[in-house]
Structure 1
């Protein structure tokens, strides 16, 4: 099974209430579409790096270790999803062009975040870095485009608490089942 659809679904679930869409909404309100395209490029590059890392690590792991790593990634995402996203630095004092502000701001924000760890673990489980990176990047781009189109005020009025509850349940349950199977307890 290639990781395209699992990466797409996992990134949508884990990222819907995360900081990248909120930052994209903030930057889009302030700087327009240039910052959005920079943010999308940065996030896609992060998923590509995560997929390459997963491909490189995969040969060193047993199948059960790969499943257990994916279970840890899913449970880790499930434990962080319930908390609302907060942005400490709104990048208001950055004097770069909008594209570079979006690119560098998103790169710093998403380096090693839960969505990238999910793509890393999915690709390590099924070593196909292209489809894993594409699935994660598509889901991330959809989230960024949606939040940027809505803007910060409208993005925050969405029922994100319900999204967080559903995502926590789905990611946690999937991770628990996969982890128990990897440990041969199920």
Structure 2
């Protein structure tokens, strides 16, 4: 349970201002099947989170507690940089003719490859004895956000104050990253 809840919260906050729910919202509108699109996107994220959790499992024995804390600080720092950077609209995948399930499955998998969600999953998986819980928490959070985006649709999703949210979230992540990094380096 040590990594389930923190991974859920971190990914929920990260995904709420990310491009993948935007892609899910527009694909849900395009195909008219919001729950199927959300499910496919959730499976795409689950696959990426499983890879990240496996990476966390493999590197965890090589890391000291301070290195694990520094890894989490790096994940927060990258989340801050990503949130403070301008959000570009996702590719609409209009040329993809794979249908309502495969288009979001592959499209979201490609869009999310190596993103902050997976970095958080890796960092939380390296923290504790049960890396699968980090992947489960991250995947549950993604399902919540993607389902909301799919049900809302693109027009409603774009009306949300995403820019202000991303700035606030980015600043909080930046402060948290600095505090964790200074603690891991024993400077505070």
TM-score (norm 2): 0.93
Q: Find the aligned partners of 1:88 and 1:170 in 2 and give their Cα distance.
A: 25
Shift of 1:87: 3.0
* 2:118 aligned with 1:108: no
Shift of 1:98: 1.2
Shift of 1:36: 2.5
Q: Find the aligned partners of 1:134 and 1:8 in 2 and give their Cα distance.
A: 8
Unaligned runs of 5+ in 1: none
Deviation digits for residues 39-85 of structure 1 (CA, Å, limit 9, x no counterpart): 11111111121111111110011111111111011011111112343
Q: Find the aligned partners of 1:8 and 1:84 in 2 and give their Cα distance.
A: 24
Which moves more between the two structures, 97-106 or 28-37? 28-37
Q: Find the aligned partners of 2:95 and 2:110 in 1 and give their Cα distance.
A: 16
* 2:180 aligned with 1:175: no
Shift of 1:136: 0.4
SS in 1 for 2:94: coil
Query: Which residue number corresponds to residue 86 of structure 1?
Result: 88
Query: Which residue number corresponds to residue 156 of structure 2?
Result: 154
Q: Find the aligned partners of 1:165 and 1:88 in 2 and give their Cα distance.
A: 19
Contact 1:18-1:84 at 8 Å conserved across structures: no
Which moves more between the two structures, 80-89 or 176-185? 80-89
SS in 2 for 1:30: helix
Q: Find the aligned partners of 1:168 and 1:88 in 2 and give their Cα distance.
A: 20
Query: Which residue number corresponds to residue 70 of structure 1?
Result: 72
Deviation digits for residues 123-155 of structure 1 (CA, Å, limit 9, x no counterpart): 112242121011101111111011111111110
Query: Which residue number corresponds to residue 21 of structure 1?
Result: 21
Query: Which residue number corresponds to residue 52 of structure 1?
Result: 54
Contact 1:14-1:78 at 8 Å conserved across structures: no
Unaligned runs of 5+ in 2: none
SS in 2 for 1:81: helix
Over aligned residue pairs, what C-alpha RMSD do you find?
A: 1.4
Shift of 1:88: 4.4
| Matched residue count | 186
